[in-house]
A and B are shown apart, each in its own frame.
Chain A
Amino acid sequence: MIPQQFRIQKLKSETYDTFTMELVSEKKKDGFSFLPGQFNMLYVFGVGEVPISISGDPTKQENLMHTIRDVGSVTGALRKLEEGDSVGVRGPFGSAWPVEAAEGKDVVIVTGGIGLAPLRPAFYHILANRKKYGKVAILYGARTPEDILYPEDLQEWRSKFDLQVRVTVDRAGKDWHGTVGVVPSLISKVRFDPKNTLAMVCGPEIMMRFTVQELEKCGLMTEQIYVSMERNMKCAIGFCGHCQYGPKFICKDGPVFRFDEIEELFAVREV
């Protein structure tokens, strides 16, 4: 599991603390294949490694895209890099969003903050195969209007007639004309058939907890809900135990879990 060297082709500032990196392989010219929901370990030489979800379009494999929030020493070092610099990449790792199992069903995507990044590849996949899905809703929550991730994508998706796209923020001033409130409140505002729906949820754990409760109130069973979990990771292949989650490893068994598989652990504070 030696990191492969990638070059930063493009950097884009998303919000005050979040940025997107487009990487190209220094050696492999045949692109980088991954499943929506998987992550890579990004290595800043001399600093360390960090797990980052892949946030790009899975059908466009020539560029590898990662959206990163500057929250620690490695992500801080990643932020200081410039276009043309190199990073090490190990991956892709982990389980994927159930985009194939969702075919023929309605899909409700509920996400908050930077949680939109790991779900964007799944959404790209659904858009590329739109006819295979029923009603599709994407519900996104952010802290303030300034913290909204991928506003251009959200605008574009909202302009489509066959998608339900709702954005809400936790607080806003008078210049915001959109919705204010928590993202689980939006679930009852969109149309889907609870008997034939798959929900994909990604965001802070507390947001996911309230979201699952609201989805259940709307009639979904826990087997119809998928969540993406996060813990500190080191090896990413299930050896080191850093990301152990009860009997599971987030890196190997997750990060995407069907909710009924982790429901009991989800309620335990210490895990």
Chain B
Amino acid sequence: MKDIKALLTEHAFFRNLKEKQIETIAGCGKNVHFSKGDVVFRQGEEANAFYIVKKGAVSIEVDGAERGTIIIQTVEAGDILGWSWLIPPHEWRFTANAVEETSAVALDGRCLRGKCGGDDALAHTLLEKFAGVLAQRLEKTRMQLLDVYGK
């Protein structure tokens, strides 16, 4: 099994990061596994991690009150899961459930925030990377909202 640093080095999200920065980030990581049906995180709870999905799939869900639970996106192998750890008040905005056996690298948000506190360059790089993820999600959500297949 590849170690976390090697995995991050190969991942597109961490492209252009310096080796030292990847080493720092990898120091906050651990391998995690979720069985099908496991809750990865729950809306409203403290957000202290983000995940790089290695295998499997995770559904991102929102509680639609009387409409029940609505799945808004599925995150798969290669994708980044979770951004709430970065933005105060560090609470999960959605619930995530493993819809398949899922393996991921979990990166500890508190650990990363701590390291970013003393390293402006790392903080800036991570913010820039996550801004890209957020922009992509926003664009896709807008496309979903357009209801392109409607009459």
Contact = CB atoms under 8 A, between A and B. Distances in A.
Interface of A: 17, 71, 112-114, 141-143, 147, 168, 170-174, 176-182, 184-185, 188-189, 203-204, 206-207, 210
Nearest to B144: A170
A185 B143 CA distance: 11
Given A171-B144, A180-B59, A142 B72 contact: no
**Interface size of B as a range:** 20 to 34
Closest 9 CB pairs of A and B: A113-B149, A143-B149, A204-B148, A179-B74, A180-B71, A170-B144, A180-B74, A182-B143, A172-B71
Contact of A141 (B68, B149, B151): B149
B89 interface: no
Contacts of B69: 173-174
A180 B72 contact: yes
A5 B76 CA distance: 50
Interface string B72-106: 11101010000000000000000000010000000
Contacts of A147: 149
A259 B61 CA distance: 36
Contacts of A174: 61, 68-69, 71
B3 interface: no
Contact of B148 (A17, A180, A207): A207
B68 A180 contact: no
A181 to B, nearest CB: 5
Contacts of B76: 179, 189
Nearest to A141: B149
A116 to B, nearest CB: 11
Interface of B: 57, 59, 61, 68-74, 76, 78, 99, 140, 143-144, 146-151
B148 A113 contact: yes
B128 to A, nearest CB: 19
B150 to A, nearest CB: 7
Given A177-B99, A179-B57, A143 B71 contact: no
B143 A206 contact: yes
B43 to A, nearest CB: 14
Greatest chain A CB density within 10 A among B57, B76, B146, B149 is at B149
A181 B73 contact: yes
A177 B98 CA distance: 10
A142 B148 CA distance: 9
A113 B78 CA distance: 27
A181 B58 CA distance: 12
7 contacts: A143-B147, A172-B70, A180-B73, A180-B74, A181-B73, A181-B74, A203-B148
A171 B70 contact: yes
B68 to A, nearest CB: 6
A158 B4 CA distance: 33
B13 to A, nearest CB: 13
Nearest to A144: B149
Contacts of A112: 148-149
B113 to A, nearest CB: 29
Nearest to B76: A189
B39 to A, nearest CB: 13
Contacts of A168: 74
Contacts of B147: 143, 170
Contacts of A143: 147, 149-150
B149 A171 contact: no
A174 B69 CA distance: 6
Contacts of A204: 148-149
A214 to B, nearest CB: 10
A173 B70 CA distance: 5
A210 B150 contact: no
